Amino acid sequence: MRDAVSLAVAQITPLAGDVPANVVEHLELARLAADEGATTVVFPELSLTGYELHLAEKLAFREDDSRLDGLRDLATSAGITLVVGAPLRGELGLHIGAAILLPHGRHAWYTKRRLGTFPAEARIDSEDGSIPPSEKSVFQPGVRDPLVSVGTRQAAIAICADIGDATHPQQSANRGATVYLASMFVIPSDFPGEQAKLSRYAAQHAMLTALANFGGPSGSLRSAGRSSIWSEQGELLVQLAPAGSGIAIMRETPSGRTTRTRMLSN
């Protein structure tokens, strides 16, 4: 198929600040996705460190960080693109970044443009956890916004609170993106609204839309899991369970689209 896409969202359960262990889980999930035919795999926000804002300065990545080498090697050997989350030490300071690891050893970074915060009056469900500090107390807004090839299509990346600005998907579509990759950390009480938002963006802008979320708690908060992919009409195509590590994949074939989920064995 001319515009064939084989896209996977990876749902990871990170260990707080343990980059080597989290890299191992990334590699396991990426190999699982590649075995299922995926050519692009998207991971959640800050997936390599967990949503551990107090550790971001200590764990910050350089653009060509050697801790990405194993993932770069897999991207090359498997011929896949990986989008993985990490704090990035950039030219404007510390950013929430998504490293885009491309086949043949190339790479790029997206940096989160709209930093998230819970307002002082926020009432988080007691089962969700406790309110973390504002991202603005740790990070700077980013400006890097490359498009990524997904098959013969172009994809835009968003990191979590970026999707709260409706101009973000609009501008992505205006730039020619027909795929929208949302690297997220969504708590259970926020999930219905975020899911509805992404489904709406998919339909409004005719973009295949993906959400990658954690499959377990991180920082001071629980995660909703349920990593998902929506069609260009806003229809939910595939979704993972609320907890656990695994992949959800959507493949285009000459006979139509197929979906599959696979979880990592404990």
Residue 132 scores a pLDDT above 70 = yes
Residue 121's pLDDT band (cuts 50, 70, 90)? very low
User: What is the reported pLDDT for 118?
Assistant: 63
pTM listed for this prediction: 0.94
Q: What is the rounded average pLDDT of the residues 202-208?
A: 98
User: What is the reported pLDDT for 80?
Assistant: 96
Q: What is the rounded average pLDDT of the residues 227-249?
A: 98
Q: What is the largest CA-CA distance in the chain?
A: 52
CB neighbours of residue 223 within 10 Å: 29
Spatial contact of 132 and 219, defined as CB atoms under 8 Å apart: yes
Spatial contact of 240 and 225, defined as CB atoms under 8 Å apart: yes
Residue 129 scores a pLDDT above 80 = no
Distance of CA 227 to the CA centre of its chain: 9
User: What is the reported pLDDT for 133?
Assistant: 84
Give the residue among 90, 39, 81 at the shortest CA–CA distance from 62: 90
Residue 265 scores a pLDDT above 80 = no
CA dihedral 216, 232, 40, 51 (to 10 degrees): -30
User: What is the reported pLDDT for 1?
Assistant: 45
- Give the C-alpha distances (Å, rounded to integers) separating 179 from 23, 114, 127, 144, 232: 26, 20, 33, 18, 9
Residue 74 scores a pLDDT above 60 = yes
Tokens of 60: 């910050």
Give the residue among 65, 75, 73 at the shortest CA–CA distance from 42: 75
> Percent of the chain having pLDDT more than 90?
85
